[in-house]
A and B are shown apart, each in its own frame.
Chain A
Amino acid sequence: MSTPNIPPVDAELALAEVQSRREQVVGDNVLPAWFWSGLGGLMLVFVAAVESQEPWAVAAGSTVYAVGLATLIVALVRRTRVRIRPALLGARGGVAIAGFTLCLVGVGLAVAFTVQALGVPWPATIGCVPVAVAMAVGGPRLMAYLRRLMLSRPLAESAGRS
């Protein structure tokens, strides 16, 4: 099929429109900063409650965690009106997410075991503090990286694989 006589400037504008719509979709899909801070905070409350070994604190902490997590997820699902194509994220995106998760787990365990070895009370809670902070600070940064990654993909790539 021959290409019609489209002025190059019109083709440029059309490609800019394609890119800008992709930016819109990607921007609407990244996890918001409040989600990361909320998740980190809830995790900290839960771990502290369990570590206290006080039945009332365990019950209260578990309830706060369950209700808080459900609220976060419902809020997230309610604002999700579009699902991004995994192909945009690609293997590099998957590796970044897995790496971030492993770092959080590694830091949490390292701090907790070190603190425990030193005989400091509340090791799990103390180990959880840097994890919660890293989630609140690193989560949005991970999202910014993934956003850049998804926008850097070739324009036709999002359509090339079915």
Chain B
Amino acid sequence: MSTEPRFDELIHAPTRLSIVSLLAATEWAEFKYLRDRLGMSDSALSKQLTTLEEVGYVDIRKTFVAKRPRTSVRLTAHGRRAFAGHVAALQEITRGFRVG
């Protein structure tokens, strides 16, 4: 089944595109993993994740592993659909460019 192209302004912002792209390839990722891979501060990443969480694109879970707090993030089904639509929209734009 092909995905309908749907440009998503929220995802397209550079930092959020990087976050969602990382999450799209994962089942879940640790907050620290995202922070290190994206080279962001805790607060900057938290802010972006909160924005994504507010629209239902990501799910943030806080657990304790060996008495240490661990925050993991995953893309929701809604977030995955939005990302797939956004990627399809980007591909459509570039296809037009290549043909033209």
> A interface vs B, CB < 8 Å?
1-4, 6, 8-9, 11-12, 14-15, 17-18, 21-22, 24-26, 28, 81-86, 88, 155-156, 158-162
Contact = CB atoms under 8 A, between A and B. Distances in A.
Contacts, number: 110
B94 A8 contact: yes
Nearest to A150: B25
Contact of B24 (A12, A86, A159): A159
If over half of B's interface residues share one DSSP class (helix, strand or loop), that class is named, otherwise mixed; here it is helix
A1 B94 CA distance: 18
Interface residues of B, number: 39
Contact of B93 (A1, A3, A24): A3
Interface in B80-100: 80-81, 83-84, 87-94, 96-97
B93 A6 contact: yes
A154 B91 CA distance: 11
B7 A6 contact: yes
B25 A81 contact: no
B21 A18 contact: yes
Given A156-B84, A159-B75, A3 B26 contact: no
